[in-house]
């Protein structure tokens, strides 16, 4: 289960409940969110989809505790093309 809580304009707290519950602080630059988000999708939903993408590839305990959303593409080059509308 994934819970996304917006902290301010560019920071989100993400809680992932699995065998172990983890909490992650994710920063999303507005221009990056506009690039990746679906039409009329808010940034919290983009963060949720991004965590679904990550969890399909690794466990929640392997995900960095604090990162900028753009970092995902460094580890998974297919991220931006897979997540874009």
This prediction has a pTM of 0.95
**CA-to-CA separations, 10 to 33, 69, 71, 81, in angstroms, rounded:** 10, 10, 15, 22
Rounded to 5 degrees, what angle do the CA atoms 59, 25, 58 make? 10
- Domain ranges for the chain, please list them: 2-83
Confidence of residue 85 (pLDDT cuts 50, 70, 90): confident
Lookup: tokens for 35: 């690039």
pLDDT digit string, tens, across residues 25-62: 999 999 999 999 999 999 999 999 999 999 999 999 99
In the DSSP assignment, the letter for residue 68 is: E
pLDDT digit string, tens, across residues 54-83: 999 999 999 999 999 999 999 999 999 999
């Amino acid at each position: 289960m994934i819970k996304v809580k917006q902290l301010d304009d560019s920071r989100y707290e993400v809680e992932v409940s699995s065998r172990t519950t983890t909490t992650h602080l994710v920063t999303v630059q507005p221009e990056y969110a506009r690039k990746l988000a679906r039409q009329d999708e808010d940034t919290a939903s983009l963060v949720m989809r991004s965590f679904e993408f990550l969890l399909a590839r690794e466990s929640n305990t392997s995900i960095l505790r604090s990162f900028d959303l753009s970092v995902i593409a460094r580890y998974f080059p297919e991220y931006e093309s897979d997540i874009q509308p």
